[in-house]
Structure 1
Amino acid sequence: MKKHALLGLVLALLVLLATLPAAAQDVMELARKEGKVVWYSSIALPIAQELCNLFNSKNLGIECVLHRSGSGKLFRRLLQEARAGIYNADILHTSNIGHFVTLRKEKAIIPYRPKGTERFDPNFLEKDGYWTILRASVYIPAYNTTKVKPEEVPQSWLDFLDPKWKGKLVNAHPSYSGFVSVGMAALVKLFGWEFFDKLAAQKPRIVQSAVDATTFVVRGEALMSAGGTGYQTFDAIQRGEPIQYVYPKEGVPFIASPQAILAKAPHPNAAKVFSDWLFSKEAQQVLANHGLYVGHPDVQYPPSLKPLKDLKLIILTPEEAVKMRKPVREAFRKKFGV
C-alpha cells in the first residue's frame, strides 16, 4: 500500500513539473535545494499574490516569497541592501525600465532568457537578455462616471488644466510609483515642464501610488485622475465600479515593466525556474486577464480590453527613462510641494 502511495506521489510530481516550461533537470534539482525564490515586485498586490499562490500550488519544493511595494521604493531598498552587503532578492520587477539600465551598468543583473520567450513579441525582449518585459500597460487618465458628464470628459491632456477641475483631480507620486515616473517623463517629453507647472496650480490630491489614484476616483474623492495605471482602471471597470478611461488625442504613455534576475541572487536556480514559469502561457494569461499586455503570442485578451495596436502610444526609450528619473522626482516635489 505504501509503495502504491509513493508511486502515486512521484507520478503526481512529474505531472506538476510538466506544467512548467522545460528547465534543465540539474537547475530544477538545485532550485529545490534552495527551497524558495524571493520576488521584489511592483505589480498590484492582488495580482502579485495571485501569481505567487498559483506557483506555490504546484508543490515543486520552491516557495515564492513576495515583497511587494512601489517601483521607486523597491529600487531604493535594493540599493540600500546592496550597500549594506545584504542580498535578499532574487528577482526584481518594476515599472521603470531605467532601473534595469542602471543595474546592468552596475553589473547587478545577469542575462537570462526565460524558456519559450523566443516566440514572444520582440518588443518585450531586451536584445542581450538582461531583462524581459513581464507586462505592459498605459499611463492613462480616468474619470468617475457618476460625477463627470460624458460631454465634460477631457479630449486632450491640456483639458485637465481647465480651471473648472481645480481641486477635483488626483495624481500619484513619481518617487513611489515607477509607473507614474515614466508616465510623467513621457508627458514632459511631449509638452515640456510647463504642463506640470499648470497641473500643480490645479491643486490635485497627491497620493502615494497609481493604485491609490484609481481608488480615489472610484470613491468619488476625486472626479478624475490626471494619469494612472491602465490595468487597475480595467480591473475596476470589470468589477462594475463607476470609472472609465479618458483617451487624450495626443496619445498615452506606454509603460513596459521589466523583470531581471539579480547577480547576487541567493537562490539563483529557483529564480530561473520561477522566471520560466512567469513567462509561461499560464502565468501570462493571468496577467492578460487583468488587462495587462504581454509578450506571449498565445494568450487570449478580454474582449473589452482595447488592443495595443489601436492605442496611440507615447514611448520613452530606456535611456530617456534613466535620464528623466531624478529630474521628474525633484521637479514634482518642488512644483507640487510634496
Structure 2
Amino acid sequence: MLKGIITGLLAVALLSAPAFAADEATMRKAKKEGKVTWYSSITLNIAQHICNNFNKKKMGVQCVLHRDGSGKLYRRYLQERKGGIYVADVVHTSNLGHFLNLKAKKIITPYKPAGTDNFNPKFVTKDNYWTILRAGVLMPFYNTKKISAKDAPKTYADFLDPKWKGKIVHSHPSYSGFVTNGMINIVNKFGWDYYKKMAKQKPKIVQSAAGGIPLVARGEAWLGAGTTSYSLLKLIQKGEPLKPIVPPAGLALVTSPNGVFTKAPNPNAARVFTDYLFSMETMQLLADYFLYVGNPDVKYPKALPPLNKINLMAIGGAELKKKNKPTRKMFKKLFGV
C-alpha cells in the first residue's frame, strides 16, 4: 500500500499536471514537444486570455497564438499545407463549412476533449472531428448618444431607411466566418435584394465581425449591421454608449468549432491544450465573456439572454459550406470591396 502511495505521489510531482490534462504518457510527450500553436478566430483579447491562463499552469507546454479571421486562417493553413509547411496544431473558427472541408480532406483528426460527456448535445459531434467551443449571435446595434431608443431601427428593413445612409458599419464576410454565417441566414430570410439595398446605404466596411464596435462607440458610425454578441455585451457592461437591436425576424446563431490538425507538429500538446479549452475553467471564462458554451454547469451573466428566449435563425454546416464562396463573391460585387 505504501509503495502505491509513493508511486502516486511521484507521478503527481513529475507531471505537475492539472485535472483536465491527458494521461501520463500523453503529458510526458507533450512536455517534450514543448509548445502548441493555436489558430483561432475568437477576438484577440479572449484568445490571449485563454493562452495566458494556460501558460500560467507551467506544464512545460507553451501556448503560441495566431489570431485572425476565420477565412484568413483557413486560407493560410491550406497555403501552408500546399507548401509542406505545418505550423498549427489546433484550429478554432466560426465557419463550420470550413470544418466540413477539413474533415473531408482528412486535414483534421478526431479527438474528444476530456470532460465533455455531459455537454449539451448540440455542442458535440458523434465522430469527434470537432467540438463547439462557443456560440453567439450576430447582433445589430446602435450608438445611444446618436440615436434614441424611439428612433432606433427595430427590424432589418429599418436599416434600409435613407436617413441612415453613410451611418452604418458592416463587416466583411471574406474575413469573418461569423458574418458569413449571419449573411446567409439573412439572405435566406429576405433574399439578396436586402443587400442590394444595403449597398446603396454606403456603409463603412471593416474586416472583423467585432471591428465595427469601436466605430459606433466613437460615433464615426451610428449603427452596426451586425456584430459578435459577446463583444458587444461585454463593452456595454463596461459602459460604452451602445445598445443591441433584436429584430422580430430573429438573430443568426453562430456556432464555432475547435479541432486538432492531423499533421499537427505537436500532437500530444494539441490534445492537452484541447482538454484545457473545454475544461470548466475555460468554459466559465467564455461564459463570463457573454458566450454560450456546452458545459451545463457554468454561470452566465444576467445580461446574457438564454438561447431559448431568442428567436434564432440557424443553418447547417452543409449549407454554410455550399454558400460560403457565393456569399463572399456577391458581397464583393455589391459593395465593391
Q: Could you say whether these structures have the same fold, taking a TM-score greater than 0.5 normalized by the shorter chain as the test?
A: yes
* Conserved 8 A contact 2:21-2:27: no
Matched with 1:97 is 96
Q: Describe how 1:129-144 pairs up with structure 2 within 5 A.
A: 129-144=128-143
Q: SS at the partner of 1:136? A: strand
**1:269 counterpart = 2:262:** no
CA distance in 1, matches of 2:92, 2:212: 21
Q: Identify if the C-alpha distance between structure 1 residues 12 and 140 changes in structure 2 by more than 3 Å, giving closer, same or farther.
A: farther
Q: Cα offset for 1:14?
A: 4.6
CA deviation profile, 1:67-98 (whole Å, cap 9, x unmatched)? 00111111110010010010100011001111
Matched with 1:123 is 122
Q: Structure 2 counterpart of 1:72, which letter?
A: G
Matched with 1:4 is none
Structure 2: gaps (5+ residues): 1-5
CA distance in 1, matches of 2:164, 2:121: 41
CA deviation profile, 1:160-185 (whole Å, cap 9, x unmatched)? 11111111100011111111111111
Matched with 2:72 is 73
Q: Structure 1 counterpart of 2:121, which letter?
A: P
Q: Cα offset for 1:269?
A: 0.5
Matched with 1:52 is 51
Structure 1: gaps (5+ residues): 1-6
CA distance in 1, matches of 2:133, 2:16: 22
- Runs (4+) of structure 1 moved beyond 3 Å? 10-20
Q: Cα offset for 1:255?
A: 0.4
**1:238 counterpart = 2:237:** yes
* Conserved 8 A contact 2:15-2:27: no
* Conserved 8 A contact 1:136-1:292: yes
Q: Identify if the C-alpha distance between structure 1 residues 118 and 85 changes in structure 2 by more than 3 Å, giving closer, same or farther.
A: same
**1:186 counterpart = 2:189:** no
Q: Cα offset for 1:19?
A: 3.2
Q: Describe how 1:308-319 pairs up with structure 2 within 5 A.
A: 308-319=307-318
Q: Cα offset for 1:20?
A: 3.4
* Conserved 8 A contact 1:87-1:264: yes
CA distance in 2, matches of 1:336, 1:35: 45
Q: Structure 2 counterpart of 1:226, which letter?
A: A
Q: Describe how 1:7-22 pairs up with structure 2 within 5 A.
A: 14=13, 17=16, 19-22=18-21
Matched with 1:173 is 172
Q: Structure 2 counterpart of 1:171, which letter?
A: H
Q: Cα offset for 1:18?
A: 5.5
CA distance in 2, matches of 1:142, 1:95: 20
Q: Cα offset for 1:29?
A: 0.7
**1:300 counterpart = 2:299:** yes
CA distance in 2, matches of 1:11, 1:50: 31
Q: Percent identity?
A: 53
The count of aligned residue pairs is 330
CA distance in 1, matches of 2:251, 2:117: 28
Matched with 1:86 is 85
* Pairwise CA RMSD: 1.6
**1:205 counterpart = 2:204:** yes
CA distance in 2, matches of 1:232, 1:47: 10
Q: Identify if the C-alpha distance between structure 1 residues 266 and 242 changes in structure 2 by more than 3 Å, giving closer, same or farther.
A: same
Q: Structure 2 counterpart of 1:94, which letter?
A: T
* Conserved 8 A contact 2:15-2:24: no
